[in-house]
Structure 1
Amino acid sequence: MQGIIHLWSLDATEPHELTTETLGQAQILGCGSVLHLLRTLSWVRTKQNRIAESSTKLWLVSRNAVGLERMQAQSPDSSRQDSSTRDSLAIAQAPLWGLGKVIALEHAELWGGMIDNPEVADVLVEIGAAIVSGEKEDQVAYRDGQRYVARLVKSDPLAFDGTSLSTENSYLITGGLGTLGLKVARWMIDQGVRYLVLTGRGVPSIEAQRRLDQLEEAGATIMVANADVSDGARMTRLFQEIEEKMPSLRGVIHAAGVLDKEILTKQDWGRFRRAIAAKVEGSWHLHTLTRAMPLDFFVCFSSTASLLGGLRLGSDAAAFMDTLAHLRHFMGLPGSSIDWTMWADDGMSLPSQEDGKFEDNDWGGSDKLAEYTMAPGIGLRILGTLMRKADTAADAVQVVVLPKDLSYLQGFYGDRIPPPLLSELYRSESVQPSGSSDFMEELEKIPVEKKRDHLATHIQSQLNRVLGFAPSQTMDLQKGFFDLGMDSLMAVEIKNRLQTSLGCKLPTTLAFKYSTPSLLIDYIATQILALESPEGIVTESKRAANEPEEILNKVKRLSEEDLEALIDEKVRF
């Protein structure tokens, strides 16, 4: 079988008829069916023990799921744009594009691409180009017969000219009881805001309450609401409470979310849906409840995972928020989505958990985190600029925040060519397995009975580096990688690191298929390097130790004539 074309998302409800219920149904139809399909394909490949590149590719087809502002025309006339497409941006299909980027990262061997709004002939052309010419474009959209591809380009820095926050109005921050939400709240108070509504799914922690007390001591009036943003009825009541108890609402910052570190093939639909509910359904509730309000800004805290993939970062849900910001802009409403890189301090990443609690190993150690993080001051300045521009500027609808130096991506892509999306910003240094490396030369000099232990130490060291721990730190060899703090991008990085140090090709699904240190060590030792097992080494040693005694017994059984003949033969030789 050459490929699978997924068309179910085309049956999603039209945007003007969308409700919370039909939005949920669309996620089952789109992401739910793809998740089931992916798990089935992965199971089949595992049963067949196939680690090579697959000839079966998965293609996802959508209709008007992306705005053309994010695409680049590949035709002489790039000025035309279908206004009917703008007005009917199919936001219910947007999470499918985020999910596709996760599949591209976690299961590159199965990935074909995503095509938006194609004719039948366009689909066949795209698939044919991928098969015949090795075309690598995996994010393509068609409008009025023109082909567009996705590119991330550098923009001029947005000028920071202060914020226009009001002292007389109130502002809502979802996820406001988490570390990041409280940081934003503190900044807004410093900018002169006096009325804030902060939501969370539980009561404030001791630390959160301490910070809330500090905000009130600074002269602010804080309404704390126990509210799950994905619960439409609860959010309706909350807005009624705001109307009754607080000054008029003039701005929304949606920072609530739930992160799930499990890989796609280990998730069922219930778990997947819970992880995206706050971002997908929550964003939709906020949109419908504020649609008639004269807001100054409506800002969604999205993630670079929306573009780069990475389930743990909420790629599918982030894609929904990005598209919602474009939809609001088309409707003449304020709307911005910020695809954040991770923020420094407090072990937080974007988007934030509602309870604000992250374990130390959630993102590895501090050394690993430092490669990605952004100083809070920089993030808050960007936020302030976008809040001021949110009601008018087209360039503020979706903004991606990445480190200036993207060389860290080399660890994720290794010898693989980065997605075309990044071709304007980053080019990978080609790293092909050389067949020889310093480590392999070192391993050759190790006695056979010690090779496996030496390999195990090397693999643990590489795992520690990727996870951000000290190279010599011990780890539970039976514990799953994703319980140790690994995410999708780290899984790609460990595959690339080991591939380079071992000088041989490794499967893209390495960390997913061999998901504990013990399984990984055993696979590389036996299947890749063909090292003797400990049992084999012991047996060989015993056999070698017994050889002199066996030879002596044979000699004793020889007659004197046979022994003399044997000695004469050896001497002549």
Structure 2
Amino acid sequence: VRVTIAACDVADRDAVAALLARLDDDPAPLTAVVHAAGLNDVAPLLDTDLDRLAAVSSGKTAGAAHLDELLGDRPLDAFVLFASIAGVWGSGGQAGYAAGNAYLDALAERRHARGLAATSVAWGPWADGGMATDDAQRELARRGLRVLAPADAVHAMRVAVGRGGPALTVADVDWTTFAPAYASTRPRPFLAELPDARQAVRDAAGTPTDGGAALRDELRGLTGEDQDRRLTDLVRAEAAAVLGHGGPERVKPRRAFKDLGFDSLTAVELRNRLNRATGLSLPTTLVFDHPDPAALAGHLRATLLPDAPAGPAADPTETAVRHALATVPLARIREAGLLDLLLGLTGDDGPAAEPDGAGVDLDEMDTDTLIRLALDGTES
């Protein structure tokens, strides 16, 4: 085997044309192409301007388009495009990257329709030098996407080319973890034909064998205030378990779930644990519909004991403020330098004081403390 390494910017059409011309001058004919270029720039869609989008997509889309155009109808044994699962089912912060990879799948379909060799492989993360960093690999594994060993991936590529289909996905997925989170906000017909994924979604909504009867009986023997306290403690304990805390102490009753570190995956895990504890069939959007553990406990009480007397009506102003603050983690407010401004609006010139006189660390500030300070300042 003879190997030649030639630098070439595949986004530059003239550079690709020159490379192919040099290959045509070689006695050994060109029989296969593997387009593996890629640049991954993780950023929210709102922070992705045209220049940033072009930089991410050009290596994928322009390079593939140039190869397809310049090679024309030349017969090849293989024309392989390295795509990504980001273009198949999406990936947070990778809008431009996802679009570029979806283009590769479409290009392969078009070449296939022309009777030309084409295989677009939407890869999951690779180990040992793949585009995902070590931290990203650990986060992906937590979400149910395990890294592929390069030897296994290369073998899968050989099988994919041999099958003759234009596009397929190769990923090592733990469906019991991935599928419930992926289907947390709405049904996913995409998974309907995958038995393991379909079963994982069903299992995630499981309920206790007694249908929550024991918890209901316990609550009926308590006063309304104690019912709220019992259910708040339940939510805090389950939330702490999901977040990996040693106990519920770090889960404050009035601290927004987003401030506590909940995302789509941990939201599903908490929903599943509360389903099993209460016997209810709770929606996967639970922690997004109810901003903090105390509010969620109130919802559980009303659902478990619909005939019980309702608690005191919440202050509509406080409720509106809580929901508004729950949409933006206080960490973001602190980073933007707005927390001091908000505290200033409450009438406090510096770090707020708790009733016992202890100062409040701004880094430990939660939604409940901020709202209480605002309400106290209004009353005074």
TM-score computed with the length of structure 2 as normaliser? 0.57
Distance 1:418 1:366, change over 3 A: closer
Aligned mates of 1:437, 1:414 — CA distance in 2: 28
- 1:507-526 equivalences under 5 Å are 514=328, 517=331, 519=333
Rounded Cα–Cα distance in structure 2 between residues aligned with 1:418 and 1:520: 36
The aligned counterpart of 1:492 is 264
What is the alpha-carbon distance in structure 2 between the residues aligned to residue 325 and residue 536 of structure 1? 60
The within-5 A match list for 1:422-571 is 422-425=191-194, 426-427=197-198, 428=201, 429-430=204-205, 438-440=234-236, 492-496=264-268, 504-506=286-288, 514=328, 517=331, 519=333, 538-542=353-357
Indicate conservation of the 8 Å contact 1:414/1:493, yes or no.
Answer: no
Q: C-alpha separation between the residues in 1 aligned to 2:143 and 2:179? A: 16
1:112-511 correspondence runs (5 A): 194=1, 221-245=2-26, 247-310=28-91, 311-312=93-94, 314-346=97-129, 348-349=130-131, 359-364=133-138, 368=142, 371-389=145-163, 393=164, 396-403=165-172, 405-410=174-179, 412-413=181-182, 415-425=184-194, 426-427=197-198, 428=201, 429-430=204-205, 438-440=234-236, 492-496=264-268, 504-506=286-288
Q: CA deviation at 1:229?
A: 1.1
**Alignment length, in residue pairs?**
264
State the shift of 1:539 in Å: 4.0
Deviation at 1:542, TM superposition (A): 4.0
Distance change (3 Å), C-alpha of 1:414 and 1:332 = closer
**Aligned counterparts, 1:9-88, within 5 A:** none
Counterpart position of 1:85: none
Tell me, yes or no, if the aligned pair for 1:336 and 1:397 is still in contact at 8 Å: yes
User: Measured at CA, do residues 411 and 246 of structure 1 come closer, stay the same or move farther in structure 2, by a change above 3 Å?
Assistant: farther
Whether contact under 8 Å (1:462, 1:498) holds in the other structure is no
Residue 400 of structure 1: how far off its partner (Å)? 1.8
How many angstroms apart in 1 are the aligned matches of 2:43 and 2:206?
29
Once the two structures are superposed, residues 185-237 of structure 1 have per-residue CA deviations (whole angstroms, 9 ceiling, x without a partner) of: xxxxxxxxx2xxxxxxxxxxxxxxxxxxxxxxxxxx22212212111111111
User: Structure 1 residues 519 and 250 mapped into 2: Cα distance closer, same or farther (>3 Å)?
Assistant: same
- Stretches of structure 1 that go unaligned for 5 or more consecutive residues are 1-193, 195-220, 350-357, 445-449, 464-490, 522-532, 544-573
Percent of aligned positions with the same letter in both sequences?
22
Contact in 2 for aligned 1:415/1:431 (Cα 8 Å): no
Query: Which is richer in strand?
Result: 1
| Shift in Å, 1:286 | 0.8
1:296–1:402 CA distance, 2 compared to 1 (3 A): same
Select the structure with the greater relative contact order (CA < 8 A; seq sep ≥ 6). Answer: 1
1:359 Cα shift?
Answer: 4.3
Whether the aligned pair in 2 keeps the contact of 1:363 and 1:369 (CA below 8 Å) is no
d(CA) in 2 for partners of 1:410 and 1:493?
Answer: 10
Structure 1 residue 430 displacement after superposition: 3.4
When residues 416 and 320 of structure 1 are mapped into structure 2, their CA distance, relative to the original with a 3 A threshold, is same
Q: How far apart are the structure 1 equivalents of 2:177 and 2:238?
A: 27
What whole-Å deviation, never above 9, does each CA across 1:45-65 have from its counterpart, x for those lacking one? xxxxxxxxxxxxxxxxxxxxx
State the shift of 1:329 in Å.
1.0
Residue 421 and residue 442 in structure 1: after superposition, are their counterparts in 2 closer, same or farther (change >3 A)?
Answer: closer
Q: 1:366 to 1:316 in 2, by over 3 A?
A: closer
What amino acid is aligned across from residue 178 of structure 2 in structure 1?
L
Question: Following TM superposition, by how much is the alpha carbon of 1:453 offset from its aligned partner in structure 2, in angstroms?
Answer: 7.2
The Cα of 1:300 is off from its aligned counterpart by 0.7
Question: Do the aligned partners of residues 367 and 422 (structure 1) sit closer, same or farther apart at CA in structure 2, a change above 3 Å counting?
Answer: closer
TM-score w.r.t. structure 1 length?
0.39
Deviation by residue 1:228-287 (Cα, 9 ceiling, x = unmatched): 211111111111122234621100011111111101111111111211111111110110
Are residues 256 and 323 of structure 1, via their aligned partners in 2, closer, same or farther at CA, if it must alter by over 3 Å?
Answer: same
Larger Rg belongs to: 1
Contact 1:322 1:337 in 2 (8 A): yes
Q: Residue type matched to 1:285 in 2?
A: H
- SS class of match (2:287): coil
Asked if structure 2 preserves the Cα contact closer than 8 Å seen for 1:412 and 1:492, the reply is yes
Q: Is the 8 A contact 1:297 1:335 kept in 2?
A: yes
Distance 1:405 1:452 in 2: 29
Q: Normalized per residue, which structure has more helix? A: 2
Task: Sort the Cα spacing of 1:362 and 1:413 in 2 relative to 1 into closer, same or farther, 3 A.
Answer: closer
